[in-house]
Amino acid sequence: MSATPVTHLNFHGEARAALEFYAAAFGGEVAIRTYSDFGMPAGLPDSDRVVFGQVVAPSGFTVMAYDVPGVPDAPTAPASTRRENGMTITTAPFFLALNADTLDEATEHWNALSTGATVIEPLAASAWSPGFGMVTDRFGVTWVLSVTAPEQP
């Protein structure tokens, strides 16, 4: 079992540029998927923005990032995260992402983190993972939990 948190940065239209910058700075590879890659119709305001982005460098440097949907400018209010119309809307500048090898491992961490927490997205299968969930713990830190390995039948 391995639990290594990864910083998850939240942008308002600059995630792609930031990820490319970090890849150049740390020598990593960029992986980017847009909202349209996951089914948002082309031409909608956020369809070309990053819904999943990551840089992984041979040195061990890893960072994740995405563009917050429906938020055109930098936030001016205190940080908050909520679900609205099936999307996660946030003004928080970052999340901590925790990747697990199995759904059982993710569930164990989820159960520990969700005590006294606000569940934003319940831990469940998603388009990109056998298990994905988002929770703001009792200290105000938002965690994104994902299963990285495909589940075995």
Which tens digit of pLDDT belongs to each residue from 69-111?
887 655 445 567 788 887 888 777 778 888 888 999 899 889 9
Is it the case that residue 12 has pLDDT exceeding 90? Answer: no
Question: Residue 146's pLDDT is what?
Answer: 92
Distance CA 61, CA 11 (A): 19
pLDDT in tens, 141-152: 788 999 986 654
Neighbours of 147 (CB within 10 A): 24
In a domain, 117, yes or no: yes
Neighbours of 96 (CB within 10 A): 16
Among residues 1, 4, 8, 22, which one has the least CA distance to residue 141? 8
CATH number for position 112: 3.10.180.10
In a domain, 153, yes or no: no
Domain of residue 66 covers: 4-147
CA 80 to chain centre: 15
Contact, 13 vs 20, CB < 8 A? Answer: no
Q: Based on the structure, what is the number of domains in the chain?
A: 1
Q: Which residue has the higher pLDDT, 86 or 30?
A: 30
In a domain, 35, yes or no: yes
